[in-house]
Chain A
């Protein structure tokens, strides 16, 4: 059996099978990316925070655009070479195409990496601080945790004296983590009191674990096993008891509906009690002596006294000061604050002056004063350049972003104007790719700052979590990147394994390259839209 029209087109449709298939696939891809573009439009129109306009460095995106356009040209050349039966040229052009894909992904990787290491925090009053979190130091030495990693300064510290675990839901890696931390700080975690339970029906309780036993996953596992066995047993007993009660209740209340008598049907707890086993749903451990533990902010609901981890572990102990320490602040952004102030009918400038940051950070205050001067200069420049409109208002005014955001380039310019470090254009170009150069520009440009935990409204790295703009950016470019990788793999397959087919049936290979090329062009086509909407708009 042979499927017709694999290589040659069918007469009436004029197409061979895979040509139809790839166009259908592309139609479906249009819908997939269309879904994301619709989401972009929808979320941007409805955004309740200042949408980050023209916020990404253009240069890497521009280079990537050129790389993709170039590869689009070379992939048609590769196809044309096959049509002309020139294997050598095909290899060269296809090689360039695949190389372009690699370059594209490398640039993408650099862009992602910079963002993943860049921290932002939105204070409770909607001031946004961006910068670089550091690692905790004692003197000149970095503080290391039990795994030998530096301790990042965005952690919640609790001086814990007691840990209570949910015996079903405790998360094993976290148990190991807590053990490691305790050992590192030379503390012991021991069982608070004897765990005894009835493990067989009608028997006396037996001790499963003794007070003072050392904390471990094994111990928790042992208790969990007993608990689950008891839970299963008791569930069955209670079900049987309730069934019996219902039979009785129905006999006692003839003619009544189930929902009418439901409230009177209950298990006789006292009668059932001797049959039940002991369920041990939680188990407590003492920390001796009370020791400082660190937790990632997302894993814990912290409170002084009793904090709760996501896996339902209760941590008793004192909440220690856990500020977020920026070693370098590289941007201060009042756009969101101004937006909120305007919505409430307040004067945004006044609101900024009153903000917690301006009140508490001399650097922020100085930067804001300097920035206001710059905005005034810009206002004047625009007025001189474009004059007043018919309504006696300036034709052009600074944007919201120019007025309320002090970006890292602004801070750099401020330091330069105050006689600080000046960078060569080479270094400045490097900054376009790698973000602000803290080492070269130094403390004077990007000073450190410590945000007390109670001022933190929302904090995230520049990841999808930071806002919907970055969520869209990472999801769409990530998906596009997956398409680049997939397309490049297919094209590379033709490049490296196509020789045999070329010798047997060159037309078939040409068709396949055409199909692969169509997909590749589509990937380029998506980028043609992705680039302006994320980098330029």
Chain B
């Protein structure tokens, strides 16, 4: 980790810059969602909006984790510890959502067809 005073002074600028990017990313997401002229796919909310919104959010989250939470200077062990949570959460979200491929699902849940 950047422990010397010089290194920390230097990184303060990075923090400000990253903060700026986070603000900008938020504004872009909101504009895309609220201004009809900026719709990428269909008119209104659709999969493209979802992908774009989550992509920007993921980018912002990675910036926070990488710069603010010092993952850029962090030891390998931390990646293992935190990564284990990330992997498991993906398996949870993905495997539970698999249920939508289930034919029986449609009996219980209304589908728009």
B53 pairs with A34, CB closer than 8 A: no
A45 pairs with B19, CB closer than 8 A: no
A83 pairs with B45, CB closer than 8 A: no
A396 pairs with B42, CB closer than 8 A: yes
Chain A at the B interface: mostly helix, strand, loop or mixed? helix
Query: Which of A101-109, A362-370, A520-528 forms part of the interface with chain B?
Result: A520-528
User: Chain B 52-77, CB within 8 Å of chain A: the 1/0 string?
Assistant: 01101100110011001110000101
**Is B12 an interface residue, CB under 8 A from the partner?**
yes
A521 pairs with B8, CB closer than 8 A: no
Interface size of A in residues (CB-CB distance below 8 Å): 62
State how many angstroms separate the Cβ of B41 from the closest Cβ of chain A. 9
By a CB distance below 8 angstroms, the chain A residues around B68 are 72-73, 76, 517, 521
By a CB distance below 8 angstroms, the chain B residues around A529 are 54, 57, 61
A62 pairs with B26, CB closer than 8 A: yes
**Is B81 an interface residue, CB under 8 A from the partner?**
yes
By a CB distance below 8 angstroms, the chain A residues around B70 are 514
Q: How many A-B residue contacts, CB cutoff 8 Å? A: 160
Give bound CA distance, A46 to B79, whole Å: 34
State how many angstroms separate the Cβ of B59 from the closest Cβ of chain A. 10
Q: Which of A35, A70, A382, A537 has the most CB of B within 10 A?
A: A537
By a CB distance below 8 angstroms, the chain A residues around B93 are 34, 37-38, 41
Interface size of B in residues (CB-CB distance below 8 Å): 56
Give bound CA distance, A397 to B82, whole Å: 44
Could you list some 18 contacts between A and B, CB below 8 A?
A15-B77, A20-B78, A27-B85, A34-B93, A45-B97, A53-B44, A54-B33, A62-B30, A77-B12, A80-B8, A80-B12, A80-B15, A84-B9, A399-B43, A514-B70, A525-B61, A531-B26, A532-B33
Contacts beyond the supplied A399-B45, A528-B57: 12 A-B pairs with Cβ under 8 Å: A15-B75, A15-B78, A31-B85, A31-B92, A49-B110, A72-B22, A73-B16, A80-B15, A382-B43, A399-B44, A521-B69, A525-B65
Give B contacts to A, CB under 8 Å.
Answer: 3, 5, 8-9, 11-12, 15-16, 18-19, 22-23, 26, 29-30, 33-34, 39, 42-45, 49-50, 53-54, 56-57, 60-61, 64-65, 68-70, 75, 77-78, 81-82, 84-86, 88-89, 92-93, 96-97, 99-100, 105, 108-110, 112
